[in-house]
Amino acid sequence: MTITVHHLENSRSQRVLWMLEELGETYEVRRYERNPKTMLAPPELKQVHPLGKSPVIEDSETGLVVAETAAILSYLVDRAGGAFGAPMDDEDGLRWRFWMHYAEGSMMPPLLLKLAMSKVPLMGRLAMKRIQPMIDVHLDFVEGELAQRSWFAGEEISAADVMMSFPLEAATSRGGLDRSRPATIDWLDRIHARPAFQAALERGGPYAYA
């Protein structure tokens, strides 16, 4: 085994397992559970990477430790000779790079803010009403894009779709994403039905957003 995934339950690291399954890679999973009170990662993860966050992978062939989901997926794309990487078409290639960064840079922040505000009584509920329109802008944008093409970077699935899975799954539980946005829900149904996605769930254990 050359790749070890340090996998935190109900986290972004589920995307890494899915990506590895799609690529047909051999890998080992080391599971970590969240603190039931704080929901934070356990301190053991700091022994792997100074930030103590997940996902983190270790490649025994190169000795490299790679953190951050987009960086990990890009590393795996390169390692696999470009599989699931940017399409050759210039426009689709640029689109691939956009979605790889958009997932965490633009879409996740308001979803995380709404989650944080949901824990704050009174004032939190008021804040959530102002946050939802911010999320709706992103959901409408995504719906418009997926209404035009099968996958985020064109007509074939890629790492861009893997990156976008977590924020859109989170949006179904706390962001108002439902079947009123049919293209997005169809996309989620299709990724959840993929054998590689199902295999990753078996390897990773219970996953609240799938």
- Give the start-to-end residue ranges of the domains of the chain: 3-83+196-204, 90-194
Confidence of residue 42 (pLDDT cuts 50, 70, 90): confident
Token pair for 54: 């997940």
* Phi, then psi, of 151 in degrees rounded to 5: -130, 165
Q: What is the pTM of this model?
A: 0.94
Confidence of residue 210 (pLDDT cuts 50, 70, 90): low
Name beta bridge partners: 154. 151
> Which one is predicted more confidently, 49 or 116?
49
Whole-number pLDDT of residue 84? 98
Mean of per-residue pLDDT scores for the chain: 94
Confidence of residue 35 (pLDDT cuts 50, 70, 90): confident
User: Which CATH code is given to the segment(s) 90-194?
Assistant: 1.20.1050.10
Q: Which helix H or strand E contains 197, and what residues bound it?
A: helix 195-204
The span from the CA of 103 to the CA of 99, in Å, is: 6
Asked whether residue 181 carries a pLDDT value surpassing 80, the answer given is yes
The superfamily (CATH) of domain 3-83+196-204 is Glutaredoxin (3.40.30.10)
**Alpha-helical runs (H) found in 4-89:** 13-23, 69-79
Cβ-Cβ contacts under 8 Å for 10 (sequence gap 6 or more): 34, 206, 207, 208, 209
Cβ-Cβ contacts under 8 Å for 136 (sequence gap 6 or more): 176
8 Å CB contact between 42 and 9: no
Q: What region, left, alpha or beta, does residue 24 occupy, with left being phi > 0 and alpha being psi -120 to 50 degrees?
A: left
Asked whether residue 1 carries a pLDDT value surpassing 70, the answer given is no
The span from the CA of 119 to the CA of 147, in Å, is: 34
